[in-house]
Structure 1
Amino acid sequence: MKTEIRSLNNTGLATFSSWLEDPSGRAPIQILNDVAFTEAVDGGYMVDLSRTFATSYHFGEYLAMEVFPSDVDRFSLLANAGMWSWLSLAFINSLLKKGGVGAGKPLAKPHYILQSPRLAYRLIGRTAWDLVNLHGEAAKIALGSLRSPWGEMAEQMTARQEIYAHRSFWPVANALYSAPNGIPKRGATSQRTTKARQDPRNQAGLGGVRRLPLTFKQFERTYNLRKMTDEQILALLPKEYQRWLAS
């Protein structure tokens, strides 16, 4: 059964926020269609509240392919913070920790409620829709984790504005760091430590996703990467990246 998307008002946001701070009981999904906690959203967008999603990529794919039309005003939709919080609550069971310590509990509040423009990229539903809308299947590298709705790869690839919407960056990152099952390869998000830099034989962090934005920035002084294919860019990459293509 489909339900029309609404927006959490200040009362609804406060109710959801309180549960996120102390998720000892069930999420307050009873407020989703209550006019005391929500407001109407222009567009008449409908969602199936019975749907569940194994990954944030699948959630974003559903929103991009089945909920919001391709010609929707992107910036107007991104700006509707209350609507994204409503969607966070509506699909909260797909957006909780998947395993380990705290399994079944929510992540930090900015992943569900917009708390500041600086942290808008961490709002899972909003960013999942936007990335699939911008990059298609290449967005899976950031959103395809089966272990968490927001893994370290998502953080690294969305926190930097210069690569967030870079249409050439995402296919290259996907080719380098995506395993055959779509999840990030082990070690792809590792940081190059001081100890590793002092040992020429230590490859930890080399060619990882933390270094790729810098490589792109250096290349863009000479090449127009936005007009090149991912194959052309991959052929230009320094030797440190080759091990990721071979793995």
Structure 2
Amino acid sequence: MKLHKLTKIGRLAYREWLIQRTPSDMPPNELLTDPENVELAFDIEVDVSKIFQSRFEFGQYIHELLKEKDAKILLGQKNDGLWEWLTIAYFSQFGKKMSKYWHYLVERKGHSGSLAYRHLARTSFEMYWRHGAEAMVMLSADMPTWGELSEQLTSRQNVVYHRGFIQTANAMYMKDGKALTGAAGRVKPLKRRKRGDTSGKGGVARLALAVRRLSRTYDTHVLQTPQMMELLPREFSNFITKSSSI
């Protein structure tokens, strides 16, 4: 099947269907093929029967299909219908869990700002385009799963576009394509933390804070992963020792 995108009418129909769907519902075929709802995006064949083990595999596949196109244009508002059409095409994989609507729609008007970064298909492509193999730290989750690592990394613009940070996070927190235990842990607020409680220490949220502090002294964008690891505080030593990058 050729790559299509939803028209304005198609996007409205898709939104309405999402609001009314139940967990077992699949998008009606007219949202995928009806000329009123879709238009050709690119003369590129896409295998809509392909099965993906993770959002990383999906992002890699779509990136390969679109590698000759300008990624910034693809991620622009005019192509929101492309990512929604792809979500419909692979809904049997993306939609296995009843999740928030913004994982299936490119939502640019959230109550606290744009939620476009939470779109399962669009963000999978963008993260692979920006970070290649290191995007695994954000995209290792199953197709219908957003995941805490994805949320913590993609919701912060100063982090998600920082190549050195993502490379280090991938080296520290991933092993054999899986996130290490505690990688997404959060430190409890002081009033809820018991004495000696170290849960959340060394996790990716703390890494964001540590790298921000390092940036006051170093140009963290040019540091190689081993260099950045050497500069990190002791709380990260447990994850660093599990890494082969230093």
In structure 2, relative to structure 1, the CA distance for the partners of 1:181 and 1:146 (3 Å cut) is farther
- Report the RMSD for the aligned CA atoms in angstroms: 1.9
Alignment correspondent of 2:205: 210
> What are the ranges of 5 or more consecutive residues in structure 1 without an aligned counterpart?
97-103
**Equivalent residue letter for 1:44:** D
1:110 CA drift (Å): 0.9
Q: Secondary structure at the match of 2:196?
A: coil
How many residue pairs match? The answer is 234
Q: Is the 8 A contact 1:146 1:183 kept in 2?
A: no
Which residue identity is paired with 1:84? W
Aligned residue for 1:131?
Answer: 127
149, 154, 158: which one aligns with 1:162:
158
Q: How do 1:224-239 and structure 2 match up within 5 A? A: 224-239=219-234
Identity of aligned residues (%): 30
Q: How big is the shift at 1:11?
A: 2.2
Counterpart for residue 112 of structure 1: 104
Instruction: Kindly provide the amino acid, as one letter, of the partner of residue 187 in structure 2.
Output: R
Cα distance between partner residues in 2 of 1:91 and 1:19: 16
Q: TM-score, normalised by structure 2?
A: 0.88
Residue 100 of structure 1 corresponds to which residue in structure 2? none
Letter paired with 1:73: D
- What residue is the counterpart of 2:19 in the other structure? 21
Tell me the distance in 2 between the aligned counterparts of 1:4 and 1:163.
Answer: 35
Give the TM-score, by structure 1 length. Answer: 0.88
Could you tell me how far 1:175 is from its partner in structure 2?
Answer: 1.4
* Matches of 2:34 and 2:193, distance apart in 1: 60
The range that moved more, 86-95 or 20-29, is 20-29
How big is the shift at 1:200? 5.2
> Aligned runs of 1:49-88 on 2, under 5 Å?
49-65=48-64, 67-69=65-67, 71-79=68-76, 80-88=79-87
The offset of 1:207, in angstroms, is 1.2
State whether residues 23 and 106 of structure 1, in contact with CA within 8 Å, keep that contact through their aligned partners in structure 2. no
Query: d(CA) in 1 for partners of 2:144 and 2:82?
Result: 23
Equivalent residues of 1:60, 1:125 under 8 A apart: yes
Structure 2 CA distance for aligned equivalents of residues 198 and 16 of structure 1:
45
Match of 1:11 among 6, 9, 23: 9
Cα 1:31–1:194 shift into 2, 3 Å: closer
Q: In structure 2, list runs of 5 or more residues that go unmatched.
A: none
Write the distance in 1 (CA, Å) between the matches of 2:183 and 2:191: 15
